[in-house]
Chain A
Amino acid sequence: MIADGHCMILAIAIPLLAGFSTPLLSRVGRKIRNSWVFITLFVSLLCASYQFLKIVSEGVQVYTLGAAMPSLTSPQGFPVRIILEADALNGMICVIVLSFALLASVYAWKSIREREDKFYPLFLLLTAGIVGMSLTGDFFTLFVFIEISSISSAALISFFRRGESFEAAIKYLILSAVGALFLLFGVGLLYGQYGLLNMAAVSREIGASHSFLDGAALALFAAGLLLKSGAAPVHWLKLDAYQESPVPVIVLCLLSSLVSLYVLFRIAFSVFGLSLTPAFGWVMVTLGVGSILVGVLMALPQDDLKRLIAYAAVAEIGYVMLGVGAGLTQMPVLDGSGFAALEGGIFHLVNDIFNLGLLFLIAGTVCHCTGKRKISHTGGLAHHSPLLTFLFLLGMLAISGIPPLNGFASKIMIYESVFFFSPLLSAVGLLGSIIILAIFVKVFALVFLGPPSEKAAGVPLLMVLPMLVVASVIIFIGLFPHPVLEFLIEPASRSLANPSLWTGGVL
């Protein structure tokens, strides 16, 4: 089969080409264009899944653009050309990204009703950018894909054309440009020293001890990627974006922040892994705890529904950084509680995508159906749509980590392994979880409970369907965490803990 070895590039290329061809199909008809978007995303998802199956059976997969054969990465002993590399962690994230993009496009079918011919090309472009970010094995390609996703997100954020939307889009554009610039400086520092742009090759060059400039490069990478992922103290990027964008864009922005967090882990573990001191891990842990506290405390008094969930997203990113940072302090030898912390962090990353995705989907639906953005103006929705109420209850319990849902499984791993690093930090994490519960109880009570308010519009089936899919995955992961851990999360964590697996794929 011709497409056999080319799944990786197809997963990026199909949304990209589809994005450019969508305006032509818009002239034909609405249903044809929407089906075209759905089909292309579905085909890319199939490519990503096939590639993931190959990773599970064969190990790390690489793809060299423009070479005679996809696996011909290093003809003269060092890598040339753009190389995409996917291992257990990558492949899983790519599949999750494309599934969520698919669900978002199903949601968008009914919820985006105006300027659709401008929406879908940007939507597909953003998807391609995020998938590219997750699959790349090369620093400069990373920069390119980050810019693609930043620019298309900025355009999509201003979709509703309100004053605040434009403000949010401009802020997003400027801030992500500055962040990407920092990233570019870091890339430049590495290129200037080693003359190489491929991550695996640079990793080999850095070896077991990094130079002064390498440390500066890592600091620049970390700052730029933390900005893009929305961790404190640089969590500003995503707050306005989540508040103002339409729901499918929120889902994709959430995916882009979690993928940029993944990229940071990839750089920290696989490129710099063997040369790290515990200092960097402790920085991550501190920033993680700071994110938890800032996110949780600022979410408490919020009135705008989506902004409140955005702050909760900041807090959840803090948990991921807490877990992975605790694992990072033990590089290069990672076992026992350090590895458990890493596993907990990666597991929480995956769970976050589902929990926050569900909450944002519901929040956006509430804003769409009632036309109101502020919590204090809504009320009594439980009388009109018990399904939305039940789903929000599920999301609320999942994100606070109430047993037996998926949030609890990942949080208990993080608490118990971070405990061995510092019991107090673990206690702060547990406290943050309870405060998140309190925040969402307030939202639930104000939005859904209370006497019935004026009649709200009904929720179309196509908007409810993605929520049901995400909710069933949440329940499944919650009830069966052990298979998920064994088959998905542990190989992914092992691939991070062992930098040689990543470099071995290319060299």
Chain B
Amino acid sequence: MILDSWSPLVFVISLIIIALIMWAIRHKGQRVRKKTPAFFAANPVPPRHKINYMYWGFQTAMGRVYRVLRELHSGLINDYVYWLILLTIIIWVVMLI
């Protein structure tokens, strides 16, 4: 079962062929004529748009999960060692089954 259903070379060759055809279609269009500033409804574009909180939608929808996760990642070594002991006990108990 050694990866008999994936051939990367065939994939790459097909992709290149398709890309060439698409390039030919695109070539029928006009080349770059103008370099304009970005559209912002005639206002000056803000110098650095903050897209840091990119996944806030995801994070708010999963709010409860994230609160739990943040609490767990406390940064205290005591907690970390407790987790290690807990893991050892769990593995040992499971092994006894």
A residues whose Cβ falls under 8 Å from a Cβ of B: 171, 174-175, 178-179, 182, 212, 215-216, 218-220, 222-223, 226-227, 233-234, 236-237, 277, 279-280, 282-283, 294, 297-298, 300-301, 303, 336-337, 340, 343, 375-376, 379, 403-404, 408-409, 412-413, 416-417, 438, 442, 445-446, 450-451, 453, 478-482, 485-486, 490
Q: Is B32 interfacial (CB-CB < 8 Å)? A: no
* Contact yes or no, A479 B12, CB < 8 A: yes
A218, B95: Cα distance in complex, Å: 9
Contacts of B59 in A (CB 8 A): 300-301
* Contact yes or no, B8 A404, CB < 8 A: yes
Q: Which of A174, A216, A300, A379 contacts B58, CB < 8 Å?
A: A300
Closest chain-A Cβ to B16's Cβ sits at a distance in Å of 11
| Cβ < 8 Å to A, chain B residues 74-97 | 77, 80-81, 83-84, 86-92, 94-97
A303, B96: Cα distance in complex, Å: 42
A223, B96: Cα distance in complex, Å: 16
Q: Is B35 interfacial (CB-CB < 8 Å)? A: no
Chain B residue at minimum C-beta to C-beta distance from A380: B48
22 pairs from A and B in contact (CB 8 Å cutoff): A174-B77, A175-B84, A178-B81, A222-B87, A223-B84, A234-B87, A277-B95, A279-B97, A280-B95, A283-B91, A297-B65, A303-B52, A375-B52, A404-B12, A409-B6, A417-B1, A438-B55, A446-B51, A451-B47, A453-B48, A480-B8, A481-B6
Chain A residue at minimum C-beta to C-beta distance from B6: A412
Contacts of B87 in A (CB 8 A): 222-223, 226, 233-234
**Count the A-B residue pairs with Cβ separation under 8 angstroms: how many?**
128
* Contact yes or no, A219 B92, CB < 8 A: yes
A300, B52: Cα distance in complex, Å: 11
A446, B86: Cα distance in complex, Å: 38
A218, B51: Cα distance in complex, Å: 47
A453, B49: Cα distance in complex, Å: 12
A445, B76: Cα distance in complex, Å: 33
B residues whose Cβ falls under 8 Å from a Cβ of A: 1-3, 5-6, 8-9, 11-12, 45, 47-52, 54-55, 58-59, 62, 65-66, 69, 73, 77, 80-81, 83-84, 86-92, 94-97
**Known A-B contacts A178-B81, A182-B84, A337-B1; A279 and B95 likewise in contact (beta carbons under 8 Å):** yes
Contacts of A303 in B (CB 8 A): 52
Contacts of B55 in A (CB 8 A): 300-301, 438, 442
Q: Which of A219, A298, A337, A446 contacts B95, CB < 8 Å?
A: A219
Q: Which of B2, B52, B89 contacts A486, CB < 8 Å?
A: B2
* Contact yes or no, B8 A479, CB < 8 A: yes
User: What are the 9 closest A-B residue pairs judged by CB atoms, nearest first?
Assistant: A219-B92, A404-B8, A223-B88, A219-B91, A215-B95, A376-B52, A236-B80, A340-B1, A442-B54
Contacts of A442 in B (CB 8 A): 51, 54-55
Closest chain-A Cβ to B87's Cβ sits at a distance in Å of 5
A482, B2: Cα distance in complex, Å: 8
A132, B89: Cα distance in complex, Å: 29
Chain A residue at minimum C-beta to C-beta distance from B4: A482
A438, B55: Cα distance in complex, Å: 9
A309, B91: Cα distance in complex, Å: 28
